[in-house]
Amino acid sequence: MATIGDGGTTIVNHRTFRLLLNVYPPYLGAGVHVRHVSSDFREIVVEMPLRFFNRNYVGTHFGGSLYAMVDPFYMLMLIKNLGPDYIVWDKAASIDFVKPGRGTVRAHFRLEEKVLEEIKERVKDGGKYLPTFTVPVVDRHGDVVARVEKVLYVRKKP
């Protein structure tokens, strides 16, 4: 079976990448669906409808599911864009629950070229860099339900 890869051991295209994420058991269990992965892995769209299995006691999205739907994407996007010469890990995360999530929620991830250039510049001499990314989770009206901040660890391999 193909794997998403560690930045070089297994190469998969964006369609296979999306398919693998959509059959990943934690995402199946939470009802998370990856709607779009761009061919350059710089844009990903994820959705999660409100279902009985991801609903909390008061009938809104369970906070853990909201976080799970956004957890790995910036790390995966950096791994795919920086390639096998870089180490990329999640370092820290925080989530701000802005309003109750009802219905389908969506997160849209974008990775700009200038961010990739800055990361490469900061780690070119062997140091580490801790870039921070923020992604809003929005409802069908575009209102922010939650805001997730991710801190990643990036270093060039020796």
Mean pLDDT for the stretch of residues 32-42: 96
- Other beta carbons within 10 angstroms of residue 7's beta carbon come to 19
> Please, are residues 81 and 145 in contact by the beta-carbon 8 Å criterion?
no
Q: Do residues 104 and 33 touch, judged by C-beta distance below 8 A?
A: no
With both helix axes pointing from N to C terminus, report the angle between 73-82 and 113-123 in degrees, rounded to the nearest 10.
Answer: 70
pLDDT tier at 139 (50, 70, 90 boundaries)?
very high
pLDDT at 59 > cutoff 90: yes
What is the mean predicted confidence (pLDDT) over 63-76?
95
pLDDT of residue 11: 67
Confidence tier at 29 by pLDDT (50, 70, 90): confident
pLDDT above 90 coverage of the chain, percent: 87
Does the pLDDT value for residue 150 go beyond 70? yes
Do residues 153 and 128 touch, judged by C-beta distance below 8 A? Answer: yes
Q: List pLDDT tens digits, range 78-125.
A: 999 999 999 999 999 999 999 999 999 999 999 999 999 999 999 999
Helix (H) or strand (E) holding 117: helix 113-123
Q: What is the per-residue burial (b if ≥16 Cβ within 10 Å, else e) of 8-20?
A: eeeeeebeebbeb
Is residue 5 over pLDDT 80? no
Q: State how far the Cα of 86 lies from the Cα of 68, in Å rounded to an integer.
A: 24
CA dihedral 107, 116, 22, 31 (to 10 degrees): -30
How much is the pLDDT for 10?
A: 52
Confidence tier at 4 by pLDDT (50, 70, 90) = very low
